[in-house]
Structure 1
């Protein structure tokens, strides 16, 4: 048994191949020629990285290579009843002894087959459109997050209430100044003016109202300074939309998957053992 493993005595080894550079190359003009079971002729030349490994194998163990190019469906696929078509189906039906040339980790195929040896690692590279630059009115809101915007609104509301209450009791003897509507209008307008760094024409002699105005103005200066710095950074550095660099993002972007072979499409699948996007 050991001698038969080391010397096959010229036994024919059938390889199912198709033209798939650089792993497998078919040529009907160059020499040397090999026997092709599909066309029943010897006028076919084979070459490629995987083919040369098989040629070296036959030199070492004294075997003869025969070619079968009858299947035109490339790698093919496997059906649930353990039958198939293409190169995979030829191996399952034992019409060929070896299946080589870019055999990737397809879950359906290896439920019924086994990988003899890995010759190298490969991955599927998806070419997707470059992310577009985000240009929208929402850029004005991006310097602050939602929680921070709520905090700013709450702070401005407290300023309005504080100015309204202080203005309400500034001149309690005057009916015009003593009205709640006038005090509320003064508090809201003064808060908005201070927030955008605008002065007010109202003259007050109350130290309490002056103190509240100064405190509100200092708080608003801090808020506007932080906001201006964040907005300047966003407008200076371009903001791009989310890149389609995963299966879910490919789906979210509604991109149609296409390729030169069905193998590239089936490899982008959640059941695949390996998934690579670059």
Structure 2
């Protein structure tokens, strides 16, 4: 099976062993071919009857013939007569094994016991195991081996020439065969309404539920629900068993499962996936950014890098003033006293004063060098440009409220070290095996909590909440996020990751080809997008409208003392430092 074969010719001597081995091979095979064609030729020697039960080794090959025949062989010059009898029990076991439901295209050839040279071709009626074993067996045709070369039909007794008569499409009409759907209430994918006693009421809806119901109508089978509300998606263990809806499919308790199942690698070793039909983006609802404290308002007009550039510029301007003053002192021939720019502190204060549009009120002497005069002309221009830019930014910072940087990208979420949480580990299944540091950090920060714990944290700022973003603009939001809790949360613009939604089926399930065909036709017509909107309008999710809402643009506000507390803080700090320095100078000033 692992080499991709789709047609098999099998000769078996033990039907029970063959079906058990076939079941194990199907579950362990990496190839997923749901359309396999198999012809079984049973070996017929099951019981030997004769004068002596000591069968010489040379006679065993002679006994491998169809039907009931007598054989004669000699052993040590003595003649023995044996009777080979075919046992029908093995044939019936093949048809009544549970594994037969994974192979609708199977034929078993048996030699007729009444007519010499005739071989009956049997198949099975697809479906669950019948109470009466004979109800599963159906004769397709009869082949006459003696007329094989003379007959234009190749020995086929019944008038047919098409292969479809041997391998008919048994999946087109299942005649009300019962199937089991594994799912849980997860709007808008699957919507289940519960009554007061906790039982599911008599209606179901959802994007994926509609696909499954339409498949049941097209294939004419009945269905029931398998709901594991505690384990949600569940998990599959290494031995193939598990819990939740994925575990139900892998352990063959359910025929298919749906409710936002993605293309998970580990689970694919135990189940099959259908064609994809919905793109889902996983993002988070993070706490709203806090407003910045008003005392840092004077720092808002410039960014951090620009402030660094301004400080470097002031420092370089002070160095230039001091250097040119020292050069002028040594090259000046006259006996002029040294000017104030020979003092480093004076140079630094003059450079800072340029930012406040406070140039030197004393003009430089006429004996200044040309380079120094040029510097003293351009430094005020530089200060004017910076002061104008700062004034414009300050007016905006005072009028419009500012907040801390929001979490809009996965890198910002990783850098914030803010945990993000959901009700099941399946929300992080797609991040398993990630190698880049950002996604590894996100995987380590993921937390699993129950709905009560998530609701208890919803009014705080300790975690972010995982939600799904659907193609038509709708969101899948947990019921634990409602009302005022959503007013404190903000949707992250970037997706953590995106996946494609599929239906999980049993491995090599014959339901997959008709399901894939149906999904392809629905997606070509855009039906899943229409159903997304229809289900979301019929069953509005509490809080989904808050998640997808556009945040209002901050509007200008009136200036208050609270807004201007930053400049007043600077004034108080400056006056305090000036007073302390003045007192210190008076105390430690040396006496003349």
TM-score normalized by the length of structure 2: 0.38
Give per-residue Cα distances to partners, 1:130-162, cap 9 Å, x unaligned: 334555365476372645643552233112211
2:343 equivalent to 1:184 = yes
Corresponding position: 1:275 with 2:497 = yes
Q: Is the aligned partner of 1:65 residue 2:223?
A: yes
In structure 1, how many angstroms separate the alpha carbons of the residues matched to 2:322 and 2:368? 15
What secondary structure, in the 3-state scheme, does the structure 2 residue paired with 1:22 have?
coil
Root-mean-square deviation (CA, aligned residues, Å) is: 3.8
Classify the secondary structure of the residue corresponding to 1:89: helix
| Cα displacement string for residues 71-110 of structure 1 (whole angstroms, at most 9, x for unaligned residues) | 6311112334544321111111111110012213444433
1:14 equivalent in structure 2: 180
1:104-135 Cα distance to aligned partner (Å, 9 max, x none)? 34444335433212232222241112334555
Instruction: Mark the CA change 1:198 to 1:26 in structure 2 (over 3 Å): closer, same or farther.
Output: closer
Matched, 1:51 2:214: no
Q: Per the alignment, do residues 127 and 139 of structure 1 end up closer, same or farther by CA in structure 2, a change over 3 Å counting? A: same
Partner of residue 231 from structure 1, selected from 373, 390, 406? 390
Counting only pairs closer than 5 Å after superposition, residues 1-278 of structure 1 correspond to structure 2 as 1-27=167-193, 45-49=202-206, 50-70=208-228, 72-134=230-292, 136=296, 138-139=299-300, 142=303, 144=306, 146=308, 149-170=311-332, 172-173=334-335, 177=337, 183-184=342-343, 191-193=351-353, 196-198=356-358, 200=360, 205-208=365-368, 211=370, 214-235=373-394, 236=396, 240-259=403-422, 261-262=423-424, 265-266=427-428, 269=431, 271=434, 275=497
- Other structure's SS at 1:198 match: coil
Tell me, what secondary structure is at the counterpart of 1:59? helix
The CA distance in 1 between the partners of 2:257 and 2:263, in whole Å, is 14
Cα deviation 1:19-42 (Å, max 9, x = unaligned): 22333333467xxxxxxxxx9xxx
With over 3 angstroms needed to count, the CA separation of the structure-2 counterparts of 1:165 and 1:193, relative to structure 1, is farther
Instruction: Pick closer, same or farther for the CA change 1:266–1:90 going to 2, 3 Å.
Output: same
Greater share of strand residues, 1 or 2? 2
Structure 2: runs of 5+ lacking an equivalent: 1-166, 440-494, 499-546, 549-592
- Secondary structure, in 3 states, of the residue corresponding to 1:101? strand
Residues in 2 aligned to 1:28 and 1:140: alpha-carbon distance in whole angstroms: 56
SS, match of residue 326 in structure 2: helix
Shift of 1:255: 2.3
Contact map agreement 2:241 2:250 (CA 8 A) in 1 = yes
Tell me the secondary structure at the aligned position of residue 207 of structure 1: coil
Q: Structure 1 13/172 Cα, relative in aligned 2: closer, same or farther at 3 Å? A: same
- Contact 1:76 1:86 (8 Å CA) reproduced: yes
Contact 2:264 2:429 in 1 (8 A): yes
1:161-193 alpha-carbon deviations (Å, 9 max, x no partner): 11233245547546xx269x9833565555555
Change (3 A) 1:233 1:258: farther
Q: In the alignment, what sits opposite 1:36?
A: none
Kindly indicate whether the alpha-carbon contact (under 8 Å) linking 2:184 and 2:190 is maintained by their aligned counterparts in 1: yes
